[in-house]
Structure 1
Amino acid sequence: MQAAIRNLLLVLLLLPQTLKAEGPSALRLCYQLQDHPPFTLPANNAQTPGPGILLELIQAAATQAGLTIDWQRQPWKRCILALQRGDVDGIFPTIWQAERDTWGQFPGRDPQAGQPVQRQYRLWQVDYPIATRRDTRLSWDGQRFANLKYGLSSPLGYLTHQRLAELGALASVSLQPDKGLQLVASGRLDGFVIERNISLALIAQLHLQEQLQLLPQPLLQADWHLPLSHTFYQHHPQLAVRFWQALGQQREAREAELRQRYMP
């Protein structure tokens, strides 16, 4: 009996060290302050079907990987800076670009070996259409714009903002989505670009369905990812891969159900 008690005490003493060796039990994840239905929704709102597609996916993946989530909300540029400093362990959602390798570690990415991001670990596949007035003369063929008058806008720090600048189509003012769509509706901006489902939800929320349309050709199509900080990945590479794998598995298993519930 005494030997059994001694063995139990030894296990209890060693357990914290074992858990520490395996890595942290929580991920500090940062995402944007502004809610973007159907991907992130206000907490404790009985009128919504849940916290949002991305939050559900990430929470399910964390549970599968044996982790809890410390959710943090900040302006997007602060999330990026926090990731670079290692003040948070990950940010979402973001599109990979080569220059963003400095932000953090994207799943499967190895710049030195030329290894691309592994898209099976993506959060979601998205596209970014152009919202315009229904009576607009603006056209977009996937390569260039015609009949620009005021320019187009997109949130600062987004890849769409950079793409509009490269095309010479960026308006001088950077706007939040609700303000941008209202300016388009009032005829003071040629168009606004944000993810399709977010755009549709905002247009409905602002009661602008009669004034606005989405052009058939999107500005871009891409995958959203959840990069982890270089510090976290260097110290816990196996845990990082386990989490990304769980994320991919949860998306494959639940995508149809989430689309049905959040995108009726």
Structure 2
Amino acid sequence: MRYGLIAGLLLAVAALLGVSGPAKAEPPATFAGRPTLTFVYETEANPPRYLGKGTAINWDRPGLTLDLLRELGSRLQVNLVLERFPWNRGLYLVETGEADGIFHASYKKERERIGVYPKTADGAVDPTRAIFTQAYYLHVLRGSPVRWDGTTLSGLGDKPVGATAGYSVVGDLEAMGVPVETGKIQGLNLNKLVAGRIAAYAELENMAAAAIATDAAAYADVVKLEPPLIAKPYYLLLSHAFADRDPALAEAVFETIAEINADPAFQARASDYAAADASR
């Protein structure tokens, strides 16, 4: 009794002080005797797919992908543990088998060494079983000479394009012959852009918007160039350890993601998130 009272008081004090909760959070549904899967994702926000920064997860409104996974757990009757880490750390945990999967991962050939993507019968990556599709955009300062017409990138001068370390766009830019300077997080890259250290910043649209919104005054002159730099499907990348241990369940995870995405009830949930964001 005394321990429970003390624990409750400590949680209340932590809430008042704004201290983040534990790095681990579990969806409400649990299934005794069923497998437990650990999935990891980033500590940065990517609205509406996952919300909030840091390690805590607010299950009242965690984000659309978290809602999808919570539904996946219920349909497959598996226990889910969700944890947040910096992106490269999350990839390492999947590669070593300490985590069973990571989201959202676009397809990169070299990532097949780290984990397993959904595949078609002929061995090709299967975009119909991706979690969703999102786009990278170039962000520049207002009045910048940088131009992107969907094919040609010009006006960089002698400065590189910034990108987040470990993100697939780094390789995309390098394949275009564009010099790239990486930074660990979105805010760092935006600060480089504002300071004039990079000519442009290539970032996922929603993640850039979320980072800009944290300090609208500081980033008031950051604008997004149209059209998108590149759009691609994003997947739940499963660990080789999990796929080898239970290939039937791994395949069921991929198949259930596609089923949930096609479910009108889940599509309505996506509309709810969009409406909430639009009202802000």
The bucket for the TM-score relative to the shorter chain is 0.7 to 0.9
Cα-Cα RMSD: 2.4
Q: Which residue among 255, 258, 264 is the counterpart of 2:267?
A: 255
- Please list, as runs of the form range in 1=range in 2, the aligned pairs for 1:1-264 lying within 5 A after superposition: 25-42=35-52, 43=56, 50-108=61-119, 114-149=122-157, 150-207=159-216, 210-253=220-263, 254-262=266-274, 263-264=277-278
1:54-79 per-residue CA deviation (whole Å, 9 max, x = no partner) reads: 21111111221111211122222222
Superposition deviation, residue 237 in structure 1? 1.4
Q: Contact (CA 8 Å) 2:120, 2:126: kept in 1 or not?
A: yes
Superposition deviation, residue 159 in structure 1? 0.7
Query: In structure 2, do the counterparts of structure 1 residues 217 and 54 end up closer, same or farther at CA, with 3 Å as the change threshold?
Result: same
Number of equivalenced pairs = 238
Query: In structure 2, do the counterparts of structure 1 residues 198 and 256 end up closer, same or farther at CA, with 3 Å as the change threshold?
Result: farther
Q: Return structure 1 stretches of 4+ with deviation > 4 angstroms.
A: none
Give, as a single letter, the amino acid of the residue that structure 2 aligns with 1:206: D
Q: Which residue of 1 aligns with 2:9?
A: none
Query: In structure 2, do the counterparts of structure 1 residues 132 and 52 end up closer, same or farther at CA, with 3 Å as the change threshold?
Result: same
3-state SS in 2 of match to 1:164: helix
Length-normalised TM-score, structure 1: 0.81
More strand by share: 2
Which structure exhibits the higher relative contact order, with contacts defined as CA atoms closer than 8 Å and separated by 6 or more residues?
1
Gaps of 5+ in 2: 1-31
1:18-39 per-residue CA deviation (whole Å, 9 max, x = no partner) reads: x97xxx5211112123333332
Give, as a single letter, the amino acid of the residue that structure 1 aligns with 2:39: L
Superposition deviation, residue 154 in structure 1? 0.9
1:123-169 per-residue CA deviation (whole Å, 9 max, x = no partner) reads: 11111111111211101223332111322111111111122223333
Q: Contact (CA 8 Å) 1:49, 1:261: kept in 2 or not?
A: no
1:3-26 per-residue CA deviation (whole Å, 9 max, x = no partner) reads: xxxxxxxxxxxxxxxx97xxx521
Aligned identity (percent) is 23
Length-normalised TM-score, structure 2: 0.76
3-state SS in 2 of match to 1:71: strand
Separation in 2, partners of 1:55, 1:231: 23
Separation in 2, partners of 1:190, 1:76: 24
Deviates more, 1:254-263 or 1:242-251: 254-263
Separation in 2, partners of 1:52, 1:242: 22
Separation in 2, partners of 1:191, 1:165: 14
